[in-house]
Amino acid sequence: MANNNSSILHFKFDVSTFRLLGRELITDRITALFELVKNCYDANAENVEIIFENLNPISEKSRIIIKDDGLGMTFEDIRDKWMVIGTSNKRRKRITPPPYNRIVAGKKGVGRFAVDKLGGKLVMKTKKKGSSVWHCLETDWTKYSEEEDRQLSLAFEELEDKKLFTDIDNKYWAESANKDEHGTLLEITSLSDSWTENDIIRAYKELSKIVKPAFSVTYPFNIRFVVPEYSAYNNRMVESIVLAKATLSYNLKYRFDDSNKTYYQEYLVEEKGTIKIKEKPAEIFGPIGFTLYYYDQEGKKNFTKEDRIDGIKVYRDGIIATPFAEYKAKRDEQKDLFGIDKRRWSGFFEKLSTRDIIGWVDITDELNPEIKDSTNRQDFVDNREWAALKDFVINQIHQIELYLKHKKEITKKKNSEILKKADNEISDISKKIDQIKKNSFFASPEVETELDDITKRLGVIKNTVSETSKDFVQLEKDKKQQENIMFSLVSLQAYAGQISHILRTSIGTIKRSAEFIEKWIPLKQKYDKSEKHAKQVFDEMNNLSKAMNFMLSYAEDDSTFEYFGIKDAIAELFDDIYVSLFEDNGIKAEYFVEDDFELSYNKKAFQDMFGNLIDNSVKALRNIKDKRIKCTAYRNNGSLVVLFSDNGIGVPEENRDRIFDVFYTTTADLGGAGLGLYIIKSRLESIKGTITLEENEFKPTGATFKIIIPLKD
Amino acid sequence: MEEKMNVSIVYIDDAVKMKNDAFIDDIEDVVNEVKYFEKPSEGLTYIKQNIDKNIIVILDWKFNNSSVQGENFLNDINEISTLVPVIVFTGADIRAADANKMFDGNAFSCIPKDASTYELVTTIRKAYDRIQNDIRSVMEKWILKQDEEKRNKPYMRSGDRIYTLNDILASIRKQDEFGKETTRGIMSLATELFTNNMRGK
């Protein structure tokens, strides 16, 4: 009974806590290794040796040793700090002892439990300089899990001697040592998984990022791998990523203006083919250092493996801020922290990707306090400051993109001019030689033969130059065309929104009609309306098919692009596909193709457009006596022009602007969904064509559509 | 038979085919009327002219070839009266930005175009309940309960003007300055009485 007798209760830790702190907090073995190496850095170590022994297959002899020459610990440190969960000296002191003055990398005081992810048993040996013994501590995580298993196997009430996390014994002993030695050694055994060579490669690669590539430290931080099983990594120093021979490099700094107590940030601005570094007051995320290296194809050759170029990292006080050690075998799954590869707005070809740049953002705990690691250590806390920092980084990359684009244009223009000039020069020389020949009645026959030879050779060179020049122009055109095709794909993203709008609306209409029928038919009520809605279901289904075919036309690959004769394609429509429809409705349909030529496009898509127009005309003609449809095609200014007319009821003046809108229809009663003209318009837009409603050809009533499709020469 | 609601539905959607939608035929028995408008301006005019009726608006969100969109019409409706619940009915993908606009515009709810009639009717009923439970509706009901004769007699004076109960009713419905002030006044009076009661116990 709760009454006034007060009492005090304490939290206790279940034995399973070891899992929560270790294997469940640290998601990956490499991250675990990373955390432990970070501790070495924080202990002012200069050299870390990571020894992997008997990794594959796993046996009792398998072990990982992480050995550093850092500060080491005293017995009291072990008892009062290492053994007390959550203690982190590093939270109090943000800087390691002098002369290193490193800003500490770990903060949470749980990095030591990362060991559990690597293996079940840890022996730690540590000592400070001057001490005559190594303090040795054995933590056997398997004891914890055995106790946990035992507890789980019993009912809660049966547990009389329930051991808590804090009740498990850990063995301590001392070993004699040389006074000058110092540092910490972690020996991990009972490994949980075997390590293949690939795993070692991963670990190596990720650790090569731990200290910033060009980080100039008076007190170095070296990591050495000792892996007897895999000779390529045995006795190998972890090297920083290669930075030599970048095509472009920028280093943006910041400064503090004492007069107005403001931080100023450097940033990049592209202006007509040059990049300038300018300055502005620091943004909300605080002042940062930003180093960016760009590699073109030539520059990338300096890398033994292209995947060493992998985008932009964030370093806090000189050490990588988030453990990107979360290695993904597939590059596409790797974390794109700044969303560099996700940018998809226009200009597909001019975007740089994480495969083109290496860079790092330097932040500090002091100046950028709002850029925080998220608790899972896989990202930053998504706040306004982080969003602004992302924008800043993307914008710097964008300036380089603009620069490259302009430079390319300038080079292009220059090259084309040089070729043209060369062509002219050769013509000039040819003319001069001709003149010499004409005037050189005094020349010897030998000289004349020589001159003839020179003229011939010049002819060959001239042809080559002209051909090259033509090739160059053609190449540019081809590229442009390729870009046009991409353009239509990119705009597909915009259409996707429209299409889902169409589908959702149609599905809703069908659903509610069906719902209506289902509800009222059994009640034997609203029979007429049920019939109406049954028809609506049918019509709407047809609209869905139409919308689906429209989408599928995008899904078809380039191989459906074919050369076909305009005349044949139109003839097929009028003389074959629609002939019975015309006959059934008493329509006189005629076509005139004034200039027969071939078009490279999707023939079916081309015919579908006219199919939609014909469908509309048939509806518009239903109450007209003398029904006519006429189609005329001709070539004009590098475009195909098609006029399509009927003498139907026409389009009322007030609706002329709306007929190409999605869902706009005047024939809803005939199942019109307002999709046909919208589809034609969208399709034409994707190939840079147009459709417009013109003054009607037939009088007094009717409609004439004009379609323009640009042709390539 | 579902309980009939004393309400007019104003449905504004530029997709013409929606005027044949089954939900309109389905709900005709449970509401007073369903008015379809292809052009928002005509719908707004109708709301203005019929403000003395209970109205629920069903509003499309994306309008083709128009710079004026659902959000603008939502605000226009709010200007006419904040008493009219607006249900946004849209086929578009609603992003956070749109949701914010709906929230700012005091929209009652947002329903996707592929919803069933049942979902639509359920939402309409909720909107109707809100109208019913609004303090203004309670006042309206009370006034309408009085007999016609009493409603046409001078009831109170405010400033230079003398108001009959019918005048007050019109003001409350239109939410003009006097209507708003009266609503606020009665609201605080009710609160006062209610809390006095509590203290009394």
Q: Is the pLDDT of residue A271 over 60?
A: yes
- Distance, CA of A690 to CA of A684 (rounded, Å): 6
At residue A429, the pLDDT reads 80
Share of chain A above pLDDT 90, in %: 17
Chain B: residue whose CA lies nearest to A543: B17
CB contacts of A515 in chain B (<8 Å) are 22, 26, 116-118
Q: For residue B90, what is the DSSP state?
A: E
Q: For residue range A306-333, what is the model confidence (pLDDT) as tens digits?
A: 445 667 888 887 777 765 434 444 555 5
Residue A536: per-residue pLDDT: 85
Q: Which of A240-249, A446-455, B77-86 has the highest mean pLDDT?
A: B77-86
Any B CB within 8 A of A533 CB: yes
User: Cα A247 from chain centroid?
Assistant: 22
At residue A521, what is the residue type? I
Between A500, A519, A673, which is nearest B17 by CB? A673
* Rounded Cα–Cα distance for residues A399 and A407 (Å): 12
Q: What is the pLDDT of residue A215?
A: 42
Q: What pLDDT does residue A202 have?
A: 83
Give the alpha-carbon dihedral of A521, A523, A524, A530, to 10 degrees: -30
Reference B13, options B52, B84, B66, B79; nearest CA is B66
Q: Tell me: the pLDDT tens digits for A544-554?
A: 887 777 666 65
Q: How far apart are CA A451 and CA A44, in angstroms?
A: 80
User: Quick check: A664 and B15 CB within 8 A?
Assistant: yes
Helix (H) or strand (E) holding B89: strand B86-90
Report how far residue A309's alpha carbon sits from residue A133's, in angstroms, rounded to the nearest whole number: 46
CA distance A209 to A211: 5
User: Mean pLDDT: which of A182-186, A343-347, A461-465, A602-606 is highest?
Assistant: A182-186
Question: What's the confidence (pLDDT) of residue A346?
Answer: 39
Q: How far apart are CA B118 and CA B30, in angstroms?
A: 12
Look at residue A344 in the predicted model and tell me its pLDDT.
44
Quick check: ipTM above 0.95?
Answer: no
Q: Chain A contacts of B117, Cβ < 8 Å?
A: 512, 515-516
Please report the pLDDT score of residue B127 as a whole number. Answer: 94
Q: What is the mean pLDDT of residues A458-465?
A: 77
Whether residue A501 lies within 8 A of chain B, CB to CB, comes out as yes
Q: Which domains occur in chain B, in start order?
A: 8-133 (3.40.50.2300), 135-200 (no CATH)
Report d(CA A611, CA A590) in Å as an integer: 15
- pLDDT tens digits, residue range A207-218? 876 655 544 444
A497 torsion bin: left (phi>0), alpha (psi -120 to 50), beta (else): alpha
Q: Which two tokens stand for residue A51?
A: 């020894």
Give the number of residues written for chain A. 713
What is the pLDDT averaged over residues B131-159?
84
Which residue matches tokens 């719908």? B43
> Is residue A705 predicted with pLDDT exceeding 80?
yes
Which tokens sit at A17? 């806590």
CB atoms A505 and B20 under 8 Å: no
Task: Provide the strand spans (E) within A295-350.
Answer: 311-316, 319-320
Cα–Cα dist A35/A102, whole Å: 16
Strands (E), A192-261: 222-226, 236-237, 248-252, 254-257
Mean pLDDT value of segment A492-518: 80
The CB density around residue A707, as the number of other CB atoms within 10 Å, is: 23
Tell me the pLDDT tens digit for each residue of A51-90: 999 988 888 899 999 999 999 999 998 888 888 877 666 5
Mean per-residue pLDDT for A675-688?
80
* pLDDT attached to residue A555: 58
How far apart are the C-alpha atoms of A449 and A680, rounded to whole Å?
66
Q: Which residues 6+ apart lie within 8 Å of A629 measured at CB?
A: A582, A587, A588, A589, A590, A614, A617, A621, A644, A645, A646
Q: Residue A288 and residue B198: Cα distance in Å, rounded?
A: 61
Nearest CA in chain B to A502: B91
Best of B1, B113, B121, B123 to substitute, by most chain A Cβ atoms within 10 angstroms, is B113
